[in-house]
Amino acid sequence: MKLQRKNRLRALSLGAIAVSGALALTACGSDDTSANGGSSSGPTAKAGSIKCDDAKGQLLANGSSAQANAIQAWVKAYTAECKDVQINYKPEGSGAGVTAFTQGQVAFAGSDSALKPEEVTASKKVCSGGQGIDLPMVGGPIAVGYNVPGVDNLVLDAKTLAQIFDGKISTWDDAAIAKLNPKAKLPKTKIQAFHRSDESGTTDNFTKYLKAASPADWKYSGGKAWQAKGGQSAQGSSGLAQQVKQTAGAISYFELSYAKDGIKTVDLDTGASAPVKATVENATKAISEAKTVGTGKDLALELNYATKADGAYPITLVTYEIVCDKGNKADTFKATKSFLTYIASQDGQDSLAALGYAPIPAEINAKVRETVASLS
């Protein structure tokens, strides 16, 4: 009797282990790519644009998760040509990337924000005779997704967006929204504004826009952590998109690639002749209005969030690759330079649009190529 029970228990626990093992394995099987969906059908590079230049070895990189899908597609195309190079990009976040770079652990870092002065100082230890510089490589529109039953086109401006995310406007039939959308039938539903619960470059760029375009309504200092009180939150861009999809009355912000499966996005009234849609082309147009604020070889950009140019979508994010202008590590330098040359090339930039990213405008891109060619 007792023995039998023991055996049964053993069988039960074996079964439990099998089931939980299977569950755990499937849990591990998902990764960042599945969130995008575009990268599996990623671009195939034309062999002409990739020059391996005898590059060899393993490139370690770390940084922004916003550009992870772009890097992944680039790496796939690049390593198909240059089989002696392995590139390992860990999308641990911009902060982690910059820290790893200033500690000399990686060949280059990805970051959603340009190096701060103290980080440049720290990078001088790693770059013998030089310093860390920012190379803008990828842009992307941050879409404002919403879920208002019965409303298919929604136009908002910076002022109403700031007031919505600050809790000042709390219902969808508010006069300020109605004024911007005279034709829409706005319901009485409560507005449920969602923001990121983790620190994020997307939050940083979105609040930078609110602060620059409507300073009177957005008084917070900004940064990667959300600072306004109230509202609801969720983890990661995919978490926000999920909430918008399942909650009536929800509005939130995330990279354009997450605005799929029927999530509608807000058209921005920037003061241009017509409201601007969140598209890759419109983001590129806004980036082309950016000023270069970096000195020397540094190409850090300052976006013009208050742009009124027709068809320029100002809530955009530019993410950088960070390398040393001089004194890159000798053993990985050839591979770094050859990889960066490829991603700044026409083919490299052209492949971005299919992934929901915006290419860097030609004028800035020309400077990036020049700088990459001069790296040493």
Partner 1 sequence: MDISTKTTAPPAPADPPTLQKRAARGATRPGDRIFLGLSRGSGILLLVIMAAIAAFLTYRASLVLSKNDGNFLTTFEWNANATPPVFGIAVLAFGTIVSSVIAMAIAVPIAVGIALFITHYAPKKIGGVIAYVVDLLAAVPSIVYGLWGALFLVPHLTGFYSWLNDYFGWTGILEWQGGAPRTLLAVGILLAIMILPIITNVSREVFRQAPLMHQEAALALGATRWEVIRMSVIPFGRSGVISASMLGLGRALGETMAVATVLSPSFEINASLLDPGGGTFAQNIAAKFSEATEQGRDALIASGLVLFIITLVVNGAARAIIARRKEYSGANA
> Which residues contribute to the site for partner 1 (CB under 8 A)?
8, 12-13, 15-17, 19-20, 23-24, 27, 92-96, 99, 190, 192, 194, 197-200, 223-225, 227, 229-235, 239, 242-243, 246-247, 250
DSSP 69: H
Q: Which is nearer to partner 1, 44 or 121 (CB)?
A: 121
Those residues with Cβ within 8 angstroms of residue 175's Cβ, 6 or more apart along the chain or in another chain = none
| Long-range CB contact pairs, 94-97, < 8 A, 24+ | 94/63, 94/64, 94/201, 94/224, 94/319, 95/199, 95/224, 96/62, 96/63, 97/61, 97/62, 97/63, 97/64, 97/322
Report the nearest approach of partner 1 to the CB of residue 324 (Å).
21
Report the nearest approach of partner 1 to the CB of residue 3 (Å).
16
Q: Which is nearer to partner 1, 96 or 355 (CB)?
A: 96
Q: Which is nearer to partner 1, 8 or 308 (CB)?
A: 8
What the block records as the tokens of 151 is 């409303």
- The alpha-helical segments, DSSP class H, found in 201-329 are 201-213, 236-246, 280-287
Q: Which is nearer to partner 1, 13 or 41 (CB)?
A: 13
Q: Which is nearer to partner 1, 15 or 271 (CB)?
A: 15
Q: Which is nearer to partner 1, 185 or 190 (CB)?
A: 190
Q: Which is nearer to partner 1, 215 or 223 (CB)?
A: 223
DSSP three-state, residue 6: helix
Report the nearest approach of partner 1 to the CB of residue 33 (Å).
18
Report the nearest approach of partner 1 to the CB of residue 191 (Å).
10
DSSP three-state, residue 186: coil
Angle of helix 117-126 versus helix 94-102 axis, rounded to 10: 40
Q: Which is nearer to partner 1, 40 or 246 (CB)?
A: 246
Phi, psi of 363 (to 5 degrees): -65, -45
Query: How far is it, in rounded angstroms, from Cα 316 to Cα 143?
Result: 9
Please report, as a single letter, which amino acid is at residue 303: L
Report the nearest approach of partner 1 to the CB of residue 199 (Å).
4
Phi, psi of 82 (to 5 degrees): -100, 90
Report the nearest approach of partner 1 to the CB of residue 98 (Å).
9
DSSP 236: H
Given a contact cutoff of 8 angstroms between Cβ atoms, the answer to whether 61 and 111 are in contact is no
Report the nearest approach of partner 1 to the CB of residue 19 (Å).
6
Report the nearest approach of partner 1 to the CB of residue 250 (Å).
7
